[in-house]
Amino acid sequence: MSGTMPKILKNFTLFINGDHVGTKIKSITLPKIERKTEEWKAGPMSGPVKVTLGLNAMSMEITAGEENAEALKAWADLSHSGTVFRFASAHSADDSTATQAIGIMARGKLSTIDFGSAGDGLKETKFTLDMTVYQRTVDGVEQMYIDMLNCVERVDGVNITNPILAALGLTTV
């Protein structure tokens, strides 16, 4: 049996509204994609089951090594989808020369700027983006796309919300 090494993150960068800020970014907490569920139990059921009621809110957190000017400018945009964070990363396995590009595009509104504590040495500032749009690509091919405002949940090119949109008489995407 032959095994292969996993592809791991080798490097990353970040763009805020098109401006490259990668050298100022220490870490990024990528969004959690989570279904909104509620328990349902009726009649002769042995126990409850979770029913899906859409998605929970998504957010992305950036930790910068300074009070990042691009993120501070983004604070002024109050629209739901006015700020764009684009995370680009390179992944590869140590037993291969192939490199995989994984990209995350997030649209939303900054909800938090945490200036942290001041003191000698480096300082960290955290920024939280409350998201309305999420897109994940692998080597330029869309793997997942979520648009909360337009009820789009596309996975491998198929919008899994199309039956709901059709039942409501809305155009499917």
pLDDT digits (tens, 9 = 90+) for 118-146: 777 778 899 999 999 999 999 999 999 99
Q: Please give the residue range of the domain that contains residue 70.
A: 8-41+50-167
28 is a domain residue: yes
Closest residue by Cα to residue 128 from 150, 113, 116, 106: 113
pLDDT single digits (tens) 68-83? 788 888 999 989 999 9
Separate counts of helices (H) and strands (E) for the chain: 2, 12
150 is a domain residue: yes
Number of domains in the chain: 1
Pair of tokens at residue 153:
């949940």
For the residues 148-173, what does the mean pLDDT come to? 91
172 is a domain residue: no
120 is a domain residue: yes
For the residues 167-172, what does the mean pLDDT come to? 84
2 is a domain residue: no
Kindly report the CATH number assigned to the domain that includes residue 69. 2.30.110.20
pLDDT of residue 155: 97
1 is a domain residue: no
pLDDT of residue 2: 59
Report helix, strand or coil for 133.
Answer: strand
106 is a domain residue: yes
130 is a domain residue: yes
Give the span between the Cα atoms of 76 and 110, in whole angstroms: 9
In sequence order, the 6+-apart residues with CB closer than 8 A to the CB of 158 are: none
Q: What percent of the chain has pLDDT over 70?
A: 97
Say yes or no to pLDDT of 1 above 80: no
